[in-house]
Structure 1
């Protein structure tokens, strides 16, 4: 059977694998990190064959029967207990089938906290109507048509139904579900839809924990600290299970109906990053902690003949987390040469893209003592501040103390603290002030409301970090979430959902739909679990 539609640099290592204060802060606060599930531990061999393949593409020898200490049988076996995996387990147990969920980590995986959907009861209560066709067309266009539009339409059509089910579950336990942000449409044509739903605040663990509770209450078997190693498939036959655990104490999980991969992305496998997403290496830090997202579901799929999405390089999700407050607002931005380099009124992924083109990947945003009066004029948007609070002032002070931000009473002194050319910086600020006073950006065409002078001391500068959250490329599936092989045919008994699945993103992560990453994980995880449960024995 064919698929339901086939979509047809330099690497700066920097601090990629180093721990960071940004990562610690993001995990502790449940920040705005995104991701859909923990991958299973890879059992790839240490060396690649001499065929030109990367080592992760080479299938290891099958695990011998003598090394298997336990065999467990279920109808559906799900690998990866993140947002997608827990949603898959939930729908499978709700369908009344025997369900096992295995996870390599000691608990479920949850980060971030916004979940994108269209047509939910919460949106209807707020009088928010969103044109699905318009959103689908914009997402496909954002990806330069290098995606499977049918998968995006599937999310748009089914996300409201899945989200409403979760909302009912949450409200039954007095959880508060709120929408994130307002409808944004700026003069430059950029828009954001009101799609992000939070459950008792922007903390994904609240929602994933709720799903875990329901999975267990309905008899689902969850096994943590159980890393998957190899899928079980004879030739081009059906996938009948997975072997998991570690050497000397493997467990064979037999799946009478299907196996579902919900193993997340590959952001901590350097070899996979170099092949599929080199741009994601050229960042200040990788904030996915613990670093268990090593693409193991991708690898296990490749080893049995699955196809990877064809549009490489894959899209990374790179945001400016962990810097001083206001770094997403369109204040003057300068590079290490002291020069302005863009229209600053752009989205978070776009501002990170432009930073990666600057000398040394360095950029700062510049503002002065009257910033509190100017913030509200700049418009709302993903990660933007629309007002200055006491909490934000405290946050800025902390950044001044720890070196993420700088202040000075003169432009010359500020340039010296940033270690950038003084004369070039002074010239940049002078020209920017002239244009701001005239209300016309002659260099990049930024709208009048976002042109603010830098003339009232003290002056401030904040370093804008670039941070990899997840990678967004994976195995090809059809609209039933069944994994496809390199000939476009279904691999029987194998499904994929979340960031292990491909053909949904290209180029970049589209924050025009806040919460889309988790929203896809929830919707496709739930649908994959339901579809797998309906398989005929």
Structure 2
């Protein structure tokens, strides 16, 4: 479904119940918005279509992208500053929203403290390996392209992937959501589960003054001074995906909950809010761990390298999908071949000679041999003049036999979600195409277009990090107007 919901006139609210702030969606952004609005003195109603809190947030491993000198960074000896964090995020953004990035970086340490005040502590420890997420409860690791050229030339790299103290790579964020639910209950916010917003209500000036809701067969209306949309992305809406992000098609596994159907985004658009970066998805198929594989080289069907292999996995995937037939192969020698811990990228075969490998992969043998020889010669000297791969991940691949893993779309298990959404100010106010605010309407989390703009510049932890951070700002501004 791509149709915009009907907008109701304020006259329908004559006998409606009234709240100061109504929040739509109880994931990380909505929960933080509701809590901060209530702490600012607002009477808050929180609507959630599911039977429980959490949404897609509860599927996440639990990374929060935070920096500027957090307690975990300090305890593990990693120097960072708001300016360094800002410089890095600006360098990775296609069209950086400098106001949002500045606010996020300068408020990152305080936000770290706010999260811990929910009732947990990030472990003061560091995971030095290259992985998608810490395998244990380590509190910090690199989760982006901080060490990848050209970003490493912009500012000294610092790890900013703060993981909640839950082992493993799934559902770590549920710990935070359970604590957030407890804080919401403690402060007395009314939460209505299995209740979804269906339409927005505006007055004669176009300001949002309430909404309509449905719970099974029951419907109703709520008057509100402000509505915060935090209802997720649109990865589970096939029509919207086809219209905006066709790359998230049948060959990919979609990462989202049932209710990531774009309704919040369509509600915003129905009252004139502009939508940004609707064509940009996050797509990835990590080939590591083990980190040993990172020392290999990735080639396309022409036998050419096209990306630094030590890139964050979504950056690598971003470039794979732009190769001919979206095909690519990871090549390693006998000293570096190892089965991936998460076999999303399948092993193809092994070969005794480079010529046999080229034939087996369907690569032009002369071009592939030239690529391999050039890589090996430079790797032996600890350098990569072509893609600036860092020395710690360089090693000659010259000890046969050789093996290859298939990074091609349709072979590797790619997964993804949407990044586009409602255009917002730094305080979460929904904006029209001309930049003016839609009075009374806010958006946060996957409903909103944020700092994370595409897979090439994404860092693990930005969804939870900026969802919670800007959710808080939206809640406070919705409650107080400041």
Q: Which runs of no fewer than 5 residues in structure 2 stay unpaired?
A: 125-137
2:33 alignment counterpart: 88
Q: 1:335 aligns with which of 291, 300, 318?
A: 300
SS of residue in 1 equivalent to 2:21: strand
Equivalence for 1:315: 280
Q: Supply the distance in 1 between the matched residues of 2:116 and 2:305 (Cα, whole angstroms).
A: 46
* Structure 1 residue 261 displacement after superposition: 0.8
1:340 Cα shift? 3.8
The aligned residue for residue 130 of structure 2 is none
**Counterpart position of 2:139:** 179
Is 1:462 the counterpart of 2:405 in the alignment? yes
Q: 2:227 aligns with which of 229, 251, 259?
A: 259
**1:133 matched residue in structure 2:** 83
- Measure, in 1, the Cα distance between the counterparts of 2:192 and 2:24: 10
Structure 1 residues 297-306 or 341-350, which shifts more? 341-350
**Deviates further, 243-252 or 198-207:** 243-252
Distance change >3 Å, CA 370–CA 127, structure 1 → 2: closer
1:71-103 residue CA offsets vs partner (Å, 9 max, x unmatched): 654322111111111111222233343322112
- Output the CA distance in 2 between the equivalents of 1:533 and 1:441: 53
| Aligned residue among 375, 384, 404 for 2:346 | 404
Residue in 2 that maps onto 1:501:
448
Cα deviation for residue 196 of structure 1 reads: 2.2
- Given candidates 196, 204, 207, the residue that maps to 2:173 is 204
Aligned counterparts of 1:494 and 1:479: Cα–Cα separation in 2: 13
Q: Is the 8 A contact 1:115 1:514 kept in 2?
A: yes
What count of residue pairs does the alignment treat as equivalent? 449
Runs of 5+ unmatched residues, structure 1: 1-43, 45-54, 373-392
The yes-or-no answer on 1:484 pairing with 2:426 is no
Determine the C-alpha separation between the residues in 2 that align with 1:247 and 1:185: 47
Contact 1:327 1:365 in 2 (8 A): no
**In 2: Cα distance, 1:75 partner to 1:328 partner:** 54
Contact in 2 for aligned 1:195/1:514 (Cα 8 Å) = no
Compute the displacement of 1:474 (Å): 2.1
Q: What's 1:268 paired with?
A: 236
| Partner in structure 1 of residue 362 of structure 2 | 420
Q: 1:474 to 1:415 in 2, by over 3 A?
A: same
- Counterpart check, 1:152 vs 2:128: no
1:176–1:244 Cα change, 3 Å: farther
**1:10-42 deviation line (CA, Å, top 9, x unaligned):** xxxxxxxxxxxxxxxxxxxxxxxxxxxxxxxxx
Q: Work out whether residues 78 and 102 of structure 1, in 8 Å CA contact, stay in contact via their aligned partners in 2.
A: yes
Partner of 1:102: 47
- Rate the CA distance shift 1:413–1:208 in 2: closer, same or farther, 3 A: farther
Aligned position for 1:382: none
Q: Aligned equivalents of 2:27 and 2:455: distance in 1?
A: 22
Give the corresponding residue for 2:129: none
Relative to the length of structure 2, the TM-score reads: 0.79
Q: Which moved more, 1:430-439 or 1:114-123?
A: 430-439
Q: Does residue 116 in structure 1 map to residue 83 in structure 2? A: no
